[in-house]
Structure 1
Amino acid sequence: MREISLDRLRTLVVIADHGSFADAARQLNLAPPTISLHVAELEARVGAALLTRTRGQVRPTVIGETLLVRARRLLADADQALDEVRRQVEGLSGRVRLGASTGAIAHLLPQALETLRVDHPGIDVQVQVLTSQASLARLREGSLDIGLVALPQVAGKGLRVTPWRRDPIMAYVPADWQPPARVTPAWLAGRALILNDSSTQLSRVTAEWFAAAGLYPEARIELNYNDAIKSLVAAGYGATLLPQEGEVQAHDPRIVRRALRPGLWRQLGVACRDGEVERATGFVLEALARLRQ
């Protein structure tokens, strides 16, 4: 059984609105025989007359009125669907799925989201808390559009990773420990530590910093939630090493932040699928690029 064409339904609606086959033909830029053929096909499809001609005026039958109600709704839905797709193609709206660590989400991403809200209010950024490896895996499987990942990373086929930021890693220490102006591996290794777990790039960078001084301390606890780590530092539970991440808010007076000697850096990159991206994704990438260091 053949489906009813939206073009045929549109023809029926225009005829009903203008009360004339000839006017409908001009409105739709179709030949009059084509208009008649559309109506004939619809009537053959439903098995009943849809229009009547009285004194030169074309009017819908009762069955025609029933079909017209549905036809107007279907045509409106189709027009709305095409408009939504057009807006996404033009980058006026759309959904972008982004993965990042809790630290990047809390301290870096809000600046990019504020820019997007002003410049592209129709774009919906769905943020997911993910490790770098999880972000890359989801990019490969197509369930993520952008990932903020710790460098270095092997992107793999079909992905590209662009260097984005280089933020200093700092020591966060309970204030009553009275740390030196610059914290060294030797000073920190003998104290209780709260560190990221071994699945993270930050953990590997931190371990290499200690190892360069011949030290291999064990953490008192391992967490991947930076704000929770800072809360534990404030409670005097231990010290930690975390990226500064452009923080501007007032610090907890129970925590002292110190630079490291030798210095240590956390590098971030922006990962996405290789090739041309959707315009909404491109606008998010542009907003992130403004935060590049």
Structure 2
Amino acid sequence: MSIALEADRLTKTYGAVRALDDFSLSIPAGGVFGVLGPNGAGKSTLFRIALGLVRPTEGSARLFGAPAGDIAALRKVGAMIETPRYPPSLTARDVLKMLALESGAKNADIDGWLERVGIAQAADRSTSGYSVGMKQRLGLAAAFFTKPELVILDEPTSGMDPAGIQEIRALIVDLARREGVTVILASHQLDEVRRVCDRVAILSKGKVVAEGGVAELTAGEARLRITVASPIAPVLTVLGERGVADGADAVLADIRRGDAPELIRALVTAGVEIVEARWREADLEGVYLKTLEAAAPLSEGAA
């Protein structure tokens, strides 16, 4: 398997702060990989080291097998790290022309990409008048238009409205699935991550605390939601520690799917009036929060 980005025991300190702490991660080429974590978890630091913008205190990072910062490897990469900024005198078309010259990209489809990210109508306006969402769209065009093999995106839909988020989500999926671009995505929008990512890593205080496929991480987390017309107290009694109230008329049962028929029979025998029993699949947000909560005691030494 080809590895797009590999971090080997990376540590990065800023004074007393450890942005990355003995951090190791391998991200395969192909598909969309999500890097999740709260502010200060080390996501942006990882990206900056991979792009050669920051040097690690210890350890190493490699892009496509080459040391981080290698010029040949960087020519295969597009990136948008945090909110992009542009010289106020330049238009969107100027920005892409300048980047095309600097990167040596020939026959870059500037107009096509301005259209694809939804700012073609503002291509010749000064970027000083762009909204945050429009600047994000231009940043995406700048990351993609040179036809890179790998694109690193840090909060790509920040400042966008729901329609814009949906458009960019579709663009990322299209690039990864149909055009073979590897995308590494950091986002606080967990629904966005769930919809577009194949695999994710969860970071906490500079460490990887969980990694795997989205389906793999959420497997086994489904719970049975039982809605009743009668009081929920008998349901909680039958379930014991396996049950928790979910509002005034429902209980979430932490049971295996094969145990559901026996539980329903037990509740009916106990006189419970069941209105509905439906499996609630785990969401990535719940797994994410549970993982961070479990990891907190393990990472107290990291700042």
User: Which structure has greater strand proportion?
Assistant: 2
> TM-score, normalized by length of structure 1?
0.23
> TM-score, normalized by length of structure 2?
0.22
User: Which structure has greater helix proportion?
Assistant: 1
